[in-house]
Amino acid sequence: MRTRGRDALVGAAGVTRSFLARMPVLLARLGPVKAFSYRVARRIANTLRAGSAVHDYAPFESCDYIWLAVPEDSVAQIERELVGYRSGNSALQGKIVILCGSVQDSLRLVALRASGSRVASVNVMAETEERVFVGEGDPDAVTELRRRLAVENRKLIVLAPGSKPFYWSGVNLSSSLLLPWIAGAVESLRAAGLSRSEATRLAEALGARALRSYAKAGAKSWGPAAAGSLSAVLERDLAVMRQSEPKLTALYAAGVDCARKFFREE
């Protein structure tokens, strides 16, 4: 007889550091734990103090939910293993499969979806201390994921299926890709004579003001006056700057060009 409500986990050693390790309700439901080796699976179960290590995917047949928490370059392999195990039967039909912490979205797991699985993906939203998540995928899977997270006192923001590239674009543009412009602002102010702390405070204040302005007015916060002002700056200042700070000058000019093109000023 099928056991209802048991969860299965496919993981790697790093899963013990993931948000899954801090979800007590989920851990209480955990059944079979599979990894690339039985030794690793046993270590995961022992560290999580939940579930039981298994040698193969046979115990997954009695589970309704499968959590995948493996390295990015292993997702395709795990998908092949799950779909290929006892190929030809309907063991995955109707199961909810949740891909955790991956940059990939549910649409990439074509074989699992073709097997009849209801697939979703979930990621922790940065700077929320694991209180807010983003997820996308099959509507039934997303509904169940939202319910599961709510029980753990977490919130789920639902993304449109296949839209993760835009989510990661937003994350990267506001973090790692923003860093060169932050560094350029601080170093330019330091070159003008401000101390590092003074330059950092000013750049932070101006950046926060720009963000508030965009939050309030959207693209209208960038107006003709801004474009005209920056064009005048380029003509007036770049030749002087280039003599002593060519790297900053190139970044500055590229920033003005990108901004004008994005806001269709040219």
For the chain, the structural domain boundaries read 7-172, 175-262
pTM of the prediction? 0.86
Residue pair 137/125 in contact (Cβ under 8 Å)? The answer is: no
User: What's the burial of 23, exposed, middle or buried (CB within 10 Å: 0-12/13-18/19+)?
Assistant: buried
pLDDT of residue 244: 83
User: How would CATH label the architecture of 7-172?
Assistant: 3-Layer(aba) Sandwich (3.40)
Which of 127, 141, 134, 133 shows the shortest CA–CA distance to 160? 134
pLDDT of residue 266: 46
Up-side HSE of residue 216: CA atoms within 13 Å toward CB? 8
What SS3 state is found at 115? coil
For residue 5, pLDDT beyond 60 = no
Query: Which has the minimum average pLDDT: 64-78, 82-96, 107-121, 142-156?
Result: 82-96
What SS3 state is found at 23? coil
What does pLDDT average to over the chain?
Answer: 90
Query: Which has the minimum average pLDDT: 11-15, 152-156, 195-199, 222-226?
Result: 222-226
Which of 136, 141, 74, 80 shows the shortest CA–CA distance to 112? 80
Compute how many other C-beta atoms are within 10 angstroms of the C-beta atom of residue 9: 31
For residue 228, pLDDT beyond 80 = no
How far is Cα 87 from Cα 257, in angstroms, rounded to an integer? 55
Helices (H), 115-195: 139-151, 164-173, 179-191
Q: For residue 112, what are its two tokens?
A: 């699992």
Which of 179, 192, 206 shows the shortest CA–CA distance to 241? 192
Report long-range pairs for 191-196 (Cβ below 8 Å, ≥24 apart).
191/244, 191/245, 191/248
The residue-averaged pLDDT of 215-235 equals: 77
How far is Cα 72 from Cα 82, in angstroms, rounded to an integer? 16
Rg of the chain on CA atoms, in Å: 25
How far is Cα 179 from Cα 185, in angstroms, rounded to an integer? 10
pLDDT of residue 220: 85
